[in-house]
Amino acid sequence: MLRAKCVFFILRNLTMSSKNVFVPRINPVTGESEWIPQNENYDYYQEIARSAYADMLHDTERNKKYELALKKAIDRMHSQGKPANVLDIGTGTGLLSMMAARHGADSITACEAFHPMAKCAKEVIKTNGFEEKINLISKRSTEITVGPGGDMPHRANILVTEVFDTELIGEGGLGTFHHAHQVLLEDDCTVVPTSANVYAQVVNSDFVRKWNTIQPLDIPGHMTIQPPQEITKYDGTASLHDLQLDQISTDLFQPITDPVCIFRFDFSGKTKIEFQRWMSKLVETLASGRCDAIFMWWDLQMDVDGDVLLSCAPRWAHPEPQAMQWRDHWMQAIFYPSNVCNVEKGGQVLIHSIHDEYSWWFDVRTPNDNMNNLCKEIPAGSSGLHLVCSRPRLGMLNDCHRREAYIGALRKVIKEDSICLCVSDGSQLPLIAAALGAKKVYVTETSPASRTLSRDYVKSNNLDSVVTILDKSPGDITQEDLGGNKITLCMAEPYFYSSLLHWHNLYFWYSWSHLSDLMVDSVTILPRRAILKAAAMEFDNLWKIRAPVGNCEGFDLGQFDQLIEKACDISDDSVEPQPLWEYPGTAVSTPFTLLELDMTTPVSQITHPIRNEGTIALQGSDTCHGVAIWMEYDLDDDHTVCTGPRGQQVQPGVKVNWDYYTRQGVHLFKTPVKVTSKTSVTFSALFNPSDGDVKLTFNVIKEDSICLCVSDGSQLPLIAAALGAKKVYVTETSPASRTLSRDYVKSNNLDSVVTILDKSPGDITQEDLGGNKITLFMAEPYFYSSLLHWHNLYFWYSWSHLSDLMVDSVTILPRRAILKAVAMEFDNLWKIRAPVGNCEGFDLGQFDQLIEKACDISDDSVEPQPLWEYPGTAVSTPFTLLELDMTTPVSQITHLIRNEGTIALQGSDTCHGVAIWMEYDLDDDHTVCTGPRGQQVQPGVKVNWDYYTRQGVHLFKTPVKVTPRTSVTFSALFNPSDGDVKLNFNV
């Protein structure tokens, strides 16, 4: 009966909507068009997940300084004999409004334009007891009306708002402040924050310059590949380069100037807010050198007196470097000047800056330059290079380690008769191959803009006769395109602009597999192997971006955590890309291999999924936050390109230096894991060659796990014991089953860990558990007495009786039960309930009446049947009847759970009834399904049913003729008081 491994884990997600639609996409690995199921509200939830509210709430300095300034503003109004009428624009969770209420504001109006967040704020405010104090308006501030009958009865005299981003003004803050002063605020108002200062610092840095221009590529003994002249001219108008500036070591740049304040913004209303300004400032130079970049950041003066300062400066310029707050929602930025400017120490440099309502532009000049042509508005154009290449991609192309590896590997295989094909976007490999003497090099790229840039590169280096850029995808290339040649070398970095995760770059592997007929038998594939690796990590701060907020400054934000958790569950993959060099962390394991892929074998010849699983011990630190993932490409025996650790052997307890130019994959656990000498992580990796999909699962095993299993004859207790649980207790409904389980435990020498209790769950005491508290409550669930799927919810009721014997953070497995259904045309099953009518010429109507009456009296509307024995065709898409969160004690559910809807019939001419099954979500990656077996159910297609369970069946009294307008209405009701489930289906 067991279908999935019992695993010990930190839950990451909450619940997933069962309403999916099929949406088209281009598979980043195969390059093929495909339809994938996606939650119908995917975009909605993705916007919530990406909103960065949680990151802001973990910003303790921000929270405390906002509250301090807000309290001062309220006290100031009261000291003047005025009421404190607060307006909170962009309230988010309602945190700032609740702070205002806590400090005695007389009236509070909070506005939030993002409706999901406004709904959440309403719940948070109610939970914390401020629903009578705070007037929440789900509107943009620019839509608020003031006066009798309006949203606000009168203007406010205190404004508190946080409408800032890394650029300070990128979220439209200037317009927000301007409108508020015009329409929503009294003249003599107080604004929190009162003002902002923007800073710039000119630096010299070969390291930083690699993110801006492509540098010449020297191939010793052959030639130096020069970038086209047109792409070396940069007008400085590409968008800002935002990053954690503090992670650039100070030995990687030389300050040319001190940080200087370029602009001040007065939000108080005392002076007019300007939407567009320019400024030129002469600044003394601290050192000689080239001006490669301008670092930019800002700070906020929170109060009128200037006592409360909130700074986003990097450590070397921060007013309190020893007490810096980590934050990811406000970072620093780099801007790049439009031309090369060299200065001498002790001289001056002119910093020229412009801002409009939303963005910035910076440049540098020497005092000797012509000042008449200084821009007064942000230029409109941008270099083609920066439209095609991201900043990390430019750095990657300039990376000396990559260049040396590619040149070294190609030297070994390039001959004068080499016919090469390169499958990568914007790669220098074709130029290297041509410079090393290849006869012919063909190139295919996924991006038209990248192909244009590559042609410019080829032309400017006079390699037109050797290198040909093809305007075709790999699958469309013909022998004619190759001039009748056959490929002797197929190469890639690999890198593609569409790739987000490392395995997306396996597109190269799929591409060359399409071209095997155009290759010589002895073709060389470079790289020859891809190795997906990982290491468990303790992150200094990155874990906070997904960590629950819980209590924030004394306020309960539990509803917000639930909203974010559900949104991430629906819209996020379990692995997300992050530039880990910006997010320091310590290894908590040795590196381990997830997958090893031989790319010299055509992927089309791999007929089965490639799997790997194992267990890795955690060590070297007290905490583990998740797993970092990277790819290593073996070019040959001597040359490897690594997208992970940079020039070091990863060791537990040691900080990892990550590659500057790629994003690593990160899997974050829901809550930090306490590491002991026996804590380990199990992993499983699966590569599906049919679609290039990679599935990764990571679960934490703790030696202190105290488990209770409520299931009959289950193997879960044995698995838990084998995986290292400290103690496993078992309760079963059947005495005979308990005897069998004891024999199983004894024969496997697990008596010291597994205890079979002769008690029902409601009778278990702390003494029965040896004084322990349960950390994991688990079930398949399966009970011998169960006939219908919902009878197995006995597990849910069982654990609800035991909540006093559990730790607060107890893990419930399975966490969710989903009752599903699909309309069916059965080949023959319908006959068991169909009226006989006329049989061989005899009228059996009275018999039909007798049977019908008997069934009405004795039978439920749903009966269990092993549907794998009774073939049938789906006549609808699957639909959800009930979704039950089993992590909530059923005793806390005080209302009936209902669901109803209408499902269209399609795919056949006849419908006989409805098939019903249960799906149990164990965690993010493991589900046990008692219904369809390994298929996506589609109308008009036979359903393959699970061999080992009986599905529920509701048969209509007579077959239903299906037309384009035929549908089934359904209603489902779960009564928590007695566990009864009532289902109704009508055509």
Active site residues: 162, 171
Parallel, antiparallel or unpaired: strands 529-539 and 254-255: unpaired
Is there a cis peptide before residue 494, judged by omega within 30 degrees of 0?
yes
Q: How far apart are CA 252 and CA 202, in angstroms?
A: 14
Q: Where are the beta strands (DSSP E) in 467-591?
A: 467-470, 487-491, 519-526, 529-539, 551-552, 555-556, 576-578, 585-587
CA 790 to chain CA mean position, Å = 33
Q: In Å, how far from its chain's centre is CA 555?
A: 27
Q: Can you tell me the distance from the alpha carbon of 722 to that of 680, in angstroms, rounded to the nearest whole number?
A: 13
Taking Cα atoms as reference points, which of 829, 830, 915 lies closest to residue 879? 915
Q: Specify burial of residue 25 (Cβ count, 10 A radius: 0-12, 13-18, 19+).
A: exposed
User: Taking a C-beta distance cutoff of 8 angstroms, is the pair 906, 874 a contact?
Assistant: no
Per DSSP, the chain holds a count of helices (H) and strands (E) of 19, 55
Q: What's the one-letter identity of residue 614?
A: G
User: Which tokens belong to 748?
Assistant: 């496997």
Q: How far is CA 174 from CA 195, 310, 444, 480, in A?
A: 11, 19, 46, 59
Going from the C-alpha of 116 to that of each of 97, 129, 329, 651, the distances in angstroms are: 18, 20, 20, 44
In our burial notation (b when 16+ CB lie closer than 10 A, e otherwise), range 563-572 reads bbbbbbbbbb
Structure tokens at 641: 């390109």
Cα separations (Å) of 411 from 407, 465, 638, 639, 641? Answer: 6, 20, 12, 11, 16
Tokens of 454: 């590559």
100, amino acid identity: A
The type of residue at 539 is F
**Residue 137 DSSP symbol:** E
Parallel, antiparallel, or unpaired: how do β-strands 217-219 and 223-225 relate?
A: antiparallel
Q: In this structure, what is the dihedral angle of CA atoms 65, 67, 69, 71, given to the nearest 10 degrees?
A: -150
- Backbone angles phi and psi of 600, in degrees to 5: -85, -10
Spatial contact of 637 and 643, defined as CB atoms under 8 Å apart: no
CA pair distance 875, 366, nearest whole angstrom: 76
Backbone angles phi, psi at 26, to 5 degrees: -95, 120
Spatial separation of the C-alpha atoms in residues 758 and 734, rounded to whole Å? 10
> For residue 57, what are its two tokens?
């709430």
In whole angstroms, give the CA distance from residue 104 to residue 99: 9
Q: According to the 3-state scheme, what is the secondary structure of 651-675?
A: CCCCECCECCCCCEEEEEEEEEEEC
Residue 455: how many other CB atoms lie within 10 Å: 16
CA nearest to 317, candidates 248, 242, 263: 248
Instruction: Select from 669, 668, 671, 667 the least CA-distant residue to 550.
Output: 671
For residues 774 and 802, the answer to whether their CB atoms sit within 8 Å is yes
Pairing between β-strand 332-335 and β-strand 293-301 as defined by DSSP bridges: antiparallel
Cα distance between residue 308 and residue 305, in whole Å: 8
Most distant pair of Cα atoms in the chain: their distance: 115
> CA angle 385-388-393, nearest 5°?
90
Contact 155, 146 (CB under 8 A): yes
